[in-house]
A and B are shown apart, each in its own frame.
Chain A
């Protein structure tokens, strides 16, 4: 099969993007029109339809900001501000990113350790697995404030409590994926090791671990996105002073809808960036392990 050309891959995505933006503009008009009509009546202004549409797209605190308002806000707060400024999206993204990455790293390591335990100890398989699944049914939004408060009482503040919430969300996909990955060798491959009288450690390092690598990366892609959500959720209940979560919260407090949307965009870009990085590392590792080029 011939691989799709770049244009073939980009055009469908672009078409959807254009559709979304168009719908967004229409929605922005209808959401903001009643308030604008109210304003105009009180100020006794009459405007042409075009002028009126223009005004619905230029409110300082619109119910639904128009795409260009959000874009200009993102642009302004990303490129035109010093990165140390409290209004810089780069600064807030960095704060969230650092706790995401810390939490993700801890979560991945925890997930791998749990998986190794589950695969090797029948008792752990029976006892731990139900708890791991149950852990993910607990609403994180309810747990996050307690974690922050309890750790705060123990004088643990700053990065770690937020990162722990990311850990909590990210260990699960890694644990489940790695259990599957470590168990993925076929019977014939395990029999082969048996005919060599290979030790448990040799079978683990030479067969189970390499076999699990593709599973690890697939689950890491899910885990890194979950970590970001965890970091943002962790910033919400703390009245955190920095981070994308605090930007969202502050925007909600002061009805700075444009700021909320800008923070949302920053979060999405961050997520896409993180998933892409994991994806690129996965590709490099796959190549070095003799993966067939797709």
Chain B
């Protein structure tokens, strides 16, 4: 795969920095981040709280503005990319609207972006199927389990034509069994849709299992300390997590986290 090749890079950041001015002085959420995410990549961002992984995702999404450096998303500024609806965003919480059924929740971005009602129907059906929620469209969010709600929110982010999927600890609030299951499903979904995914997590096994590249970050100031290319095959059954290759990568991630002095506080 060609690296740093302009046409295939979806996200490209150089010397990116973001400083929040607070009452207690400036907080360096991000500093000097150089990173390229290529088309079709599954990139995980891992690091302890405060390392800026979520902030980086929010800068890509134009929910925060960088204060230094350059970043392009699909070759545009993040603001242009947001306005041309280039990405779907999955938050830590499902953020489904409680007064809308699951299918109406998925219809929300489609309504806003002006898709026709025929098109909406087809897309709702297709995305519900993608996240294995077929038949639950008429349910209200409270009638679904936490894992199902989060899948619905993924369906909502997949419903419109965005090649980039930004996921901010989407499974962080779920128990491990559900999380394993959703990780497996997410990989299948990624293979089927060929989207580019940026995935924030603080679970090492999750990052290693899912990603083609793992970006290790550390706090104060938030920065990238290591970028690990995964050598795992694209086809990944859950058992792959017992293989020496998997453990080797996990070890390297752990070393990277330790090098960032993240455990010494």
Contact = CB atoms under 8 A, between A and B. Distances in A.
Interface of A: 186, 188-189, 191-198, 202, 206-207, 210-211, 213, 289-290, 292
B91 A206 contact: no
A196 B63 contact: no
A195 B87 contact: yes
A188 B63 contact: no
A198 B82 CA distance: 10
Q: Give the 8 A-B CB pairs with smallest separation, nearest first.
A: A290-B140, A289-B99, A195-B89, A188-B95, A198-B112, A196-B112, A210-B99, A196-B109
A292 B142 contact: yes
A289 B99 CA distance: 5
Contacts of A196: 85, 108-109, 112-113
A192 to B, nearest CB: 5
Contact of B111 (A188, A197, A206, A210): A206
Contacts of A290: 98-101, 140-142
Contacts of A210: 97, 99
Given A202-B112, A206-B111, A290-B140, A192 B89 contact: yes
Contact of A197 (B82, B101, B108): B82
B83 interface: yes
B82 A195 contact: yes
Interface residues of B, number: 26
23 contacts: A188-B91, A188-B92, A188-B95, A189-B97, A191-B63, A192-B89, A194-B62, A194-B63, A195-B63, A195-B82, A195-B87, A195-B88, A196-B108, A196-B109, A197-B82, A197-B83, A202-B112, A206-B108, A206-B111, A210-B97, A213-B99, A289-B99, A290-B99
A175 to B, nearest CB: 22
Contacts of B108: 196, 206
Interface in B68-94: 82-83, 85, 87-89, 91-93
Nearest to A292: B142
Interface of A is mostly: helix
B61 interface: yes
A192 B142 contact: no
Nearest to A198: B112
Contact of A194 (B82, B88, B101, B141): B82
Contacts of B85: 196-197
B97 A195 contact: no
A188 to B, nearest CB: 5
Contacts of B62: 194
Nearest to B79: A197
Contacts of B101: 290
* Most chain B beta carbons < 10 A, residue from A191, A207, A211, A213: A191
Given A188-B92, A210-B97, 4 more contacts: A191-B91, A195-B61, A197-B112, A289-B99
A196 B62 CA distance: 11
Contacts of A198: 112
Contacts of A206: 108, 111-112
Given A195-B63, A197-B82, A206-B108, A189 B95 contact: yes
A186 B96 CA distance: 11
A206 B108 CA distance: 8
Interface string B8-49: 000000000000000000000000000000000000000000
